Structure formats: structure tokens, C-alpha cells
A and B are shown apart, each in its own frame.
Chain A
Amino acid sequence: MRLAILDRGHSLGTKILFLLIRAASRQPVLDVIKLVKYRADFYGKPMQRVTQEAMRGPSAWPVADRELMAAFVAKTNDCEWCRKAHAAVAEEAYRDGAIVSAVLSDFETAPIEEPLRATLRMLCRLTREHAVNADDMRAVLAAGGSREQIEDALAICFSFNTIGRLADAFGFLLPGPKAFEAGAKYLLARGYR
């Protein structure tokens, strides 16, 4: 990472935790973990509360769709690290890698329900152009999406518009696929706490 403090500046207790994670998972500690554990009171803990609510709290979307949206927002932001990380979680959650690949390749032709497709279209515009208007929202509602689904999708978008920027700005190191697979299993079992 571009800031040495994010690699090596953690407290002794956190360094011991990282040793345990490495021993248990037999994988390197993911850079996102190093980020949220660095001076966790400043960013990590309050951000984890937001992301836990968005990704695992009560929602009109199942977890698999939420992880897919996270990967989709990351892809739209050109954040390779978050796209790969959350595509791995979505694949595990759907138990179907093909649907995730299809959406990330071209959501307009992917075999998904129309409310999800319209929601992804709105999230794409919001992420790419940094704003949307009432017509964009009416299009989602007209496709069968509910107000609740839109608000829940926007919460996911908020989280991953934050995390993706930090992954790219701090220069997260891309690990191998096995590390993302281990991370995916952890996130499905334990969430973002």
C-alpha cells in the first residue's frame, strides 16, 4: 500500500490478530482489513457499521443481489480490487458464477429480473456521473422496483463509492483468487462487523 502506516502501523494487539488470521486462513491479510483496523476509531469502526447495515441489515434485496451491486459499483468505478472481492462473494452467495459474470460483462443483456436491471442502470449513472435525477428514479419504479429497493440499493452504493475510492487511492495489493475466496466465505458467514 502507498502509506506504510496502513501496512505496518497497527497496534501490537492488531498485529497479533493479523498473525492469527494468516495462520487460520493460510492467506495474506487482505488490505481492506489492514485499512479498517488502522486507527479503527477514525474510519474502520464507524464505516463498518454503515456497511454492515447496508449489506447485512434488513433489506428488500437478498444478500446475493447486494454483493452483486457492490461488485457492479466497483466495476463502474474501475476499482479492480473491490470488483474481484465482491464478485467472489456474490458467486458464493448465488452459488452461480455465470450470473455474476453476465451482469459484470453486460447487465443490459444478463438474465436477471427487470427491477434489478433498472436499479443497476440507475446505480451505473449515479456512480459514473455522480448524480441522478427524478426521471432516473421513475424509470426504476416503472420497471417494478420499489422505493424501498431503491433506498436499499443507494445505501450499498454509498458504501462502495467510499470503499472503492480508498482501495484505489491507497493502492490495495491484488491478492490471488484463493485469498478472495477465503474473504468471501468470511463475509458470508460473519458479515462486515
Chain B
Amino acid sequence: MTDIMKARKALVTRILEGDGSASRAQRRAAFNRTRCAEPLNTLIDKVTKQAYRVADEDIVAVKASGLSEDQIFEIVVCAAIGQAVRQHDSALAALEAATKKE
């Protein structure tokens, strides 16, 4: 059986707790989808809910707000992985509930 949990944990630990250009607080906020200042909030919202709606202007606006490309790279990665983790955990909890013995 596939077991990604160890690798998933290592991935999350690296992006949130390892070194980076964005602060750990910025990365964790993106991962947790915590509301933040515009225009970054719009970008993170799109990445988590409907990533296909991200447009050039969203990235341009965030760059103009003062974030570097490396910071944007890290923050977008954290937002995407955070959303995927929430969905994965939701589904594993549902599976546990469906298969637990009465």
C-alpha cells in the first residue's frame, strides 16, 4: 500500500520550518490560508480555491507590493500544499469514520 505520510510530513516540515526567503510566519500564514494584506491575500485565495484563475496581474501586483520572486515562489508553494493537506486530511478522516467498528 502507498504510504506518503512520512514523505508528506518531511515536505511540510521543510517548507514551513526550513530556511527561506519569506519569513516562517509568512509561509505558515499562506499554508493555513490566514487572511493577510492585499494584494497577497487575493493571490493566496486564488491558489487555494481556483488556481486556474491566477493571472499575470496577480503576480505583478504582489511583486509591486515589495515581495521578491523567491518570496512569492515560497508563499505560493506553501499555499498550494496547505490546501492539498487540508483536503487529504479531510478525506482520511472521512475514510476512518466510514470504516471504524461500531
| Residues of chain A having any CB pair with chain B under 8 Å | 2-6, 9, 38-39, 41-43, 46-47, 49-50, 53-54, 57-60, 77-80, 122, 126-127, 130-138, 141, 147-148, 150-152, 154-155, 157-159, 161-162, 164-171
- Contact between A168 and B52, CB atoms less than 8 A apart: yes
What string of 1s and 0s marks CB contacts (under 8 Å) between B28-51 and chain A?
000000000000000100111011
A32 → chain B closest CB, angstroms: 13
What's the count of A-B pairs with C-beta under 8 Å? 156
- Which residues of chain B have C-beta atoms less than 8 A from A47's C-beta? 11
Dominant secondary structure of chain B at its interface with chain A = helix
| Residues of chain B having any CB pair with chain A under 8 Å | 1-4, 7-8, 10-11, 14-15, 18, 20, 43, 46-48, 50-52, 54, 56, 59, 69-70, 72-74, 76-77, 79-81, 83-88, 90-92, 94-95, 97-99
Known A3-B69, A168-B52; judge A157-B87 contact (CB<8 A): yes
- Contact between A130 and B83, CB atoms less than 8 A apart: yes
Could you say which of B3, B48, B85 contacts A158, with CB atoms under 8 Å apart? B85
Q: Can you list 23 pairs linking A and B with CB atoms under 8 Å apart?
A: A3-B72, A4-B69, A5-B73, A42-B14, A46-B7, A46-B14, A50-B7, A53-B3, A59-B1, A59-B2, A80-B52, A122-B91, A135-B98, A137-B95, A141-B99, A151-B2, A152-B1, A152-B2, A159-B4, A159-B84, A161-B87, A169-B43, A170-B76
- Contact between B51 and A165, CB atoms less than 8 A apart: yes
Complex: A169 Cα to B40 Cα, angstroms: 13
- Contact between A169 and B74, CB atoms less than 8 A apart: no
Complex: A155 Cα to B91 Cα, angstroms: 10
- Contact between A166 and B76, CB atoms less than 8 A apart: yes
Which residue of A79, A141, A166 has the most chain B CB atoms within 10 A of its CB atom? A166
- Which residues of chain B have C-beta atoms less than 8 A from A78's C-beta? 50, 52
Nearest CB to that of A56 among chain B residues? B2
- Which residues of chain A have C-beta atoms less than 8 A from B20's C-beta? 42
Known A2-B59, A132-B91; judge A162-B80 contact (CB<8 A): yes
- Which residues of chain B have C-beta atoms less than 8 A from A133's C-beta? 94, 97
Nearest CB to that of A152 among chain B residues? B2
Complex: A5 Cα to B73 Cα, angstroms: 9
A56 → chain B closest CB, angstroms: 10
- Which residues of chain A have C-beta atoms less than 8 A from B79's C-beta? 165
- Which residues of chain B have C-beta atoms less than 8 A from A39's C-beta? 70, 73
Nearest CB to that of A131 among chain B residues? B90
Complex: A166 Cα to B79 Cα, angstroms: 9
- Which residues of chain A have C-beta atoms less than 8 A from B59's C-beta? 2-3, 171
- Contact between B11 and A49, CB atoms less than 8 A apart: yes
Nearest CB to that of B95 among chain A residues? A137
